[in-house]
Amino acid sequence: MIDQARRILKETFGYEDFRLQQEQAITQVLNRKDALVIMPTGGGKSLCYQIPALIFDGLTIVISPLISLMKDQVEQLREYGIDAVYLNSSLRPEVYNFNVRKVQSGKVKMLYVAPETLMMEKTREMLKALNVECFTIDEAHCISEWGHDFRPEYRQIARLRNDFPNAVCLALTATATPRVQDDIKTMLKFDDSEEFISSFDRENLFLKVVDKKDPLNQLLDFLFTRKKQSGIIYCFSRRQVDELAEALEDEGYSVKPYHAGLSDGMRAGNQRAFIKDDVSIVVATIAFGMGINKPNVRFVVHYDMPQNIESYYQQIGRAGRDGLRSDCLLLYGSSDTQKIQYFINKKKDQEKTVAENHLKQLIKYLESLECRRKPLMNYFGETYPKEECGMCDNCLSVDDDVEDLTIQSQQFLSTIVKSGQKFGATHLADVLRGSKAKKVLENEHEKLSTYGIGLEFSKDQWMQISKMLLRQGYISKGEYGELKIENSAKAVLDGSENVFGIMDRSKTSLEGEAVVRTSSEIENEYDEALFDLLRLKRKELADEQDIPPYTIFPDTTLVEMAYFFPQSKENLELLYGVGSVKKEKYGDTFIGVIKNYAAEHGKEEKKKSIAVQARKKTGGEKFEIVGEAFNNGQSIALLAEEHGVKDMTILKHLKDFLDAGNDLRLDGLLEASNLSLRQRDQVMKSFKKKSPLMLRPVYDDLNKTIGYDELRVMQLYYMTQDR
Ligand code: ADP
Ligand code: ZN
């Protein structure tokens, strides 16, 4: 039967493979054994009941507390060509009755229902006459008083199970505390049941915490490079929400507020506008988010501190459900801590102790200097298996993009000096790149000795250098944006100090800091202009039908289209999220857009090969390919050449390879090191003294005299030898 499930996964939903716990949970349900599924938001809980529902002959009832979500889920299913209906108090009587008749006719496989509707006598009478095969309880933590969202109606669901002794029961939640889990199982009388718990790590979320200094400007910097993206900004108070929403609107952002002080109509309208991509940003209190399963939320910002780790994790969990890289930024200010403390002080006894403990844990997370995933996963009772995730600010600060930028910094600084400290970064970049812009010639800057010496860098890259020097305090900005030299810059100019920094070659994130690219080639290299066109087309189709754009295709699918340029339905179907129904319904339209674009820009279709798919799934990951080639005798330099990447990237792959339990060829590592024997010895001692796991402490320990590339090589050497 699992084969049939797999076929449906591919045929209907367009996905290549099950996620780990999905397959097990589905097997369990198909064997008619109860199951408790615990996965983080975006983990893929829905398929755990949707696929069995399609296989069972009879009806699957899905109990869900969120009315808005029901509509959304049913709309999504219809796009896959699956007929499902819902019953709740928001429906007009004639629609309600129509839906009831549809269920009675046996034509629908899934019925979504609100708990209070389910408790109604007439609903139960109706259901008794039907063949109910599966009872799914979504947001099952609502059953537990220990959950953060207890609902008394949920308690009665347990009783209802008796009416359908033959139906298998599936409970789903994203709440992981053992107490809640136990409660769910007891209440639902699960005995022959099993639990399926997947890791709470959400790999695609980039986690970042910064000191809150000038919040509005920090936020504007962050948003600047995210102009078209969807995101949520959480604030502490309603007033703050209103003010911030207004400020962002003044800056030209498409934004709406959301909090409990707004009328119901206004809230619903703003939420709908967000879901339909009519507005990009929602500024909200914690009231916002339940019932949003928009998959392409690209960022979540905490403008104020969240209350505790659990709510923080739930809130950032709303980002990146589609699996694409998404950013989570938290502005951390000490006055926020005091605010939370103030509310805690009003509490008493046990409640106060619990809240204080929560705050402590949160602060521990915020101030952590190690990989942020460690304290976070720890909180959920998991041990994070890696030393570095490469997707948080702490990992990034010792990450592979740190380079020696001394020469470029000297060139930039000396251009500032030679032009009299009167010009901004754009002009300086023009000079360095030998531009013939009017302003350059007017000031006779083509006569400067640094004129045209910086052609190897793009204008954008020079802007990055400028930002980096600002950040590191070597220069400052005057009233009109003119750049001035600070005292510390002298040491750089006379060559006594080196500058290390992170350079990004395209996108900036907060304060212009580099954005780590994901490991996915597709995500890094897709055609953004085509992606935008596809998005427009999707929006147009969605508006025609009054459905959210993501129900047509998620962003992930559009990204793949903009990478592979498929020009036949056959090739389109190979892409993520394209099942047979959507292929027929939308295939021609999207292929039309792609064909036009490809013709106009001379782009070739790339066939998504089975190899690419296989690599995406599991084994054959880049680091394995690189690691094995290295151990077979290839040098790091050659591998870098072959893969078209920097040495550091290869070293990073080797580190992953090592972390995965493999050994590395020691002579190959030494070959890659340019250090003297004495330096090697110093580095090894320092690794021993500090820790071999992190580069930063060793870098500091050696007074920043040895660059990260070299340290990484020695780290690999140390770790391999140490086994
Ligand atoms: P949850 O209910 O756990 O928050 P969803 O069921 O909404 O998560 O799934 C999150 C996203 O992941 C959806 O866009 C879904 O289509 C996608 N997804 C689920 N399972 C898979 C899979 N096996 N392969 C690829 N994408 C999947
Ligand atoms: Zn990390």
Each domain of the chain, given as residue ranges in start order, spans 2-197, 205-382, 403-501, 520-617, 622-722
Measure the CA angle with vertex 270, ends 267 and 274; round to 5°.
135
Tell which one of 15, 290, 292, 555 to mutate to probe ligand 1, the residue whose CB is within 8 A of the most ligand atoms.
Answer: 15
Coil, strand, or helix at residue 110? strand
Q: Does 422 score more than 50 pLDDT?
A: yes
Q: In CATH, what is the architecture of 520-617?
A: Orthogonal Bundle (1.10)
Greatest mean pLDDT range, 146-160, 214-228, 569-583: 569-583
What is the reported pLDDT for 708? 83
What is the residue whose two structure tokens read 């290839």? 634
Pair of tokens at residue 42: 């975006």
Average confidence (pLDDT) over 581-609? 92
Greatest mean pLDDT range, 94-98, 332-336, 379-383, 699-703: 94-98
Split at pLDDT 50, 70, 90, the class of 617 is very low
Pair of tokens at residue 595: 């064909």
Least confident residue range of 282-286, 398-402, 497-501 = 398-402
Q: Is the CB of 554 under 6 A from ligand 1?
A: yes
Helix ranges restricted to H, 304-348 = 309-316, 334-345
pTM exceeds 0.85 for this model: no
CB count in 10 Å sphere of residue 703: 7
Nearest to 71 by CA among 53, 52, 50, 85: 85
Side-chain-facing half-sphere of 185: CA atoms under 13 Å: 18
What is the reported pLDDT for 615? 39
| Cβ partners under 8 Å of residue 499, min gap 6 | 404, 405, 406, 409, 468, 469, 472, 474, 492
Contact present, 608 and 564 (Cβ < 8 Å) = yes
Higher pLDDT residue, 395 or 713?
A: 713
| Ligand lying closest to the C-alpha of residue 314 | 1
Give the C-alpha separation, 206 to 28, whole Å.
34
Nearest to 709 by CA among 633, 634, 655: 655
Give the C-alpha separation, 539 to 78, whole Å.
17
Contact present, 332 and 210 (Cβ < 8 Å) = yes
Split at pLDDT 50, 70, 90, the class of 148 is low
| Ligand lying closest to the C-alpha of residue 386 | 2
- Give the domain 403-501 fold: Arc Repressor Mutant, subunit A (1.10.10)
Higher pLDDT residue, 389 or 402?
A: 389
Helices then strands, each counted (H, E), the chain: 35, 17
Closest atom of ligand 1 relative to the 295 alpha carbon: 14
Residue type, 591: I
Measure the CA angle with vertex 572, ends 568 and 574; round to 5°.
130
Q: Does 220 score more than 90 pLDDT?
A: no
Split at pLDDT 50, 70, 90, the class of 659 is confident
Q: What is the torsional sign of CA 272, 275, 279, 282?
A: positive
Contact present, 590 and 627 (Cβ < 8 Å) = no
Max CA separation in the chain (angstroms)? 91
Q: Does 105 score more than 50 pLDDT?
A: yes
What's the DSSP call for residue 289?
B
Measure the CA angle with vertex 451, ends 448 and 452; round to 5°.
165
Contact present, 204 and 42 (Cβ < 8 Å) = no
Give the C-alpha separation, 424 to 478, whole Å.
9
Q: Whose CA is nearest to atom 9 of ligand 1?
A: 44
Same fold, 205-382 and 403-501: no
What is the reported pLDDT for 402? 60
Give residue 386's Cα distance to chain centre.
Answer: 18
Q: Which CATH number fits domain 2-197: 3.40.190.10, 3.40.50.300, 3.10.129.10, 3.30.360.10?
A: 3.40.50.300
- Give the domain 622-722 fold: Arc Repressor Mutant, subunit A (1.10.10)
Average confidence (pLDDT) over 366-377? 88
Q: What is the torsional sign of CA 452, 458, 459, 464?
A: negative
In angstroms, what is the span from residue 278 Cα to ligand 2's centroid? 34
What is the reported pLDDT for 620? 63
What's the DSSP call for residue 557?
H
Instruction: Please provide the average confidence, as pLDDT, over all residues in the chain.
Output: 87
Tell which one of 13, 75, 313, 553 to mutate to probe ligand 1, the residue whose CB is within 8 A of the most ligand atoms.
Answer: 13
What is the reported pLDDT for 43? 84
Nearest to 372 by CA among 332, 334, 337: 332
Residue type, 150: F
In angstroms, what is the span from residue 84 Cα to ligand 1's centroid? 18
Q: Whose CA is nearest to atom 26 of ligand 1?
A: 15
In angstroms, what is the span from residue 447 Cα to ligand 1's centroid? 60
Q: Does 519 score more than 60 pLDDT?
A: no
Q: Residue 242 burial (CB < 10 Å; 0-12/13-18/19+)?
A: middle
| Cβ partners under 8 Å of residue 670, min gap 6 | 717
Tell which one of 46, 79, 200 to mutate to probe ligand 1, the residue whose CB is within 8 A of the most ligand atoms.
Answer: 46
Q: Does 646 score more than 80 pLDDT?
A: no
Q: pLDDT (tens digit, 9 = 90+) per residue, 476-488?
A: 888 888 999 999 8
What is the reported pLDDT for 397? 60
In angstroms, what is the span from residue 389 Cα to ligand 2's centroid? 4
What is the reported pLDDT for 300? 97
Contact present, 196 and 63 (Cβ < 8 Å) = no
Contact present, 567 and 595 (Cβ < 8 Å) = yes
Q: Does 190 score more than 90 pLDDT?
A: no
Q: Is the CB of 690 under 6 A from ligand 1?
A: no
Residue type, 269: G
What is the reported pLDDT for 609? 62
What is the reported pLDDT for 653? 87
Q: Does 2 score more than 80 pLDDT?
A: yes
In angstroms, what is the span from residue 395 Cα to ligand 2's centroid? 4
Give the C-alpha separation, 464 to 513, whole Å.
8
Pair of tokens at residue 506: 């395209």
Least confident residue range of 79-83, 198-202, 584-588, 635-639 = 635-639
What is the reported pLDDT for 709? 83
Contact present, 430 and 440 (Cβ < 8 Å) = yes
Q: pLDDT (tens digit, 9 = 90+) per residue, 347-358?
A: 888 888 888 888
Using alpha carbons, list the distances in angstroms from residue 273 to 248, 430, 543. Answer: 17, 42, 11
Give the C-alpha separation, 75 to 54, whole Å.
16
Q: Is the CB of 202 under 6 A from ligand 1?
A: no
Split at pLDDT 50, 70, 90, the class of 614 is very low
Q: Whose CA is nearest to atom 21 of ligand 1?
A: 44
β-pairing verdict for 500-502 and 402-404: antiparallel
What is the reported pLDDT for 677? 77
What is the reported pLDDT for 6? 95
Split at pLDDT 50, 70, 90, the class of 520 is low
Q: Which CATH class is domain 205-382?
A: alpha beta
Give the C-alpha separation, 169 to 427, whole Å.
67
What is the reported pLDDT for 401? 53
Using alpha carbons, list the distances in angstroms from residue 337 to 376, 525, 578. Answer: 19, 41, 46
Coil, strand, or helix at residue 348? coil
Q: Is the CB of 579 under 6 A from ligand 1?
A: no
Contact present, 501 and 402 (Cβ < 8 Å) = yes
| Cβ partners under 8 Å of residue 284, min gap 6 | 232, 233, 234, 235, 241, 257, 258, 259
Q: Whose CA is nearest to atom 12 of ligand 1?
A: 44
- List the beta bridge partners of residue 196: 37
Higher pLDDT residue, 622 or 558?
A: 558
Measure the CA angle with vertex 380, ends 294 and 304; round to 5°.
60
Q: Does 400 score more than 60 pLDDT?
A: no
Q: Whose CA is nearest to atom 18 of ligand 1?
A: 44
Q: Is the CB of 294 under 6 A from ligand 1?
A: no
Buried b or exposed e, range 148-165, using 16+ CB within 10 angstroms: eeebebbeebbebbeebe
| Radius of gyration of the chain measured on its C-alpha atoms | 28
CB count in 10 Å sphere of residue 361: 16
| Cβ partners under 8 Å of residue 108, min gap 6 | 59, 83, 84, 85, 102
Average confidence (pLDDT) over 286-303? 90
Split at pLDDT 50, 70, 90, the class of 517 is very low
Give the C-alpha separation, 481 to 466, whole Å.
12
What would the 3-class secondary structure string for 83-102 be?
Answer: CEEEECCCCCHHHHHHHHHH
What is the residue whose two structure tokens read 């008394």? 152
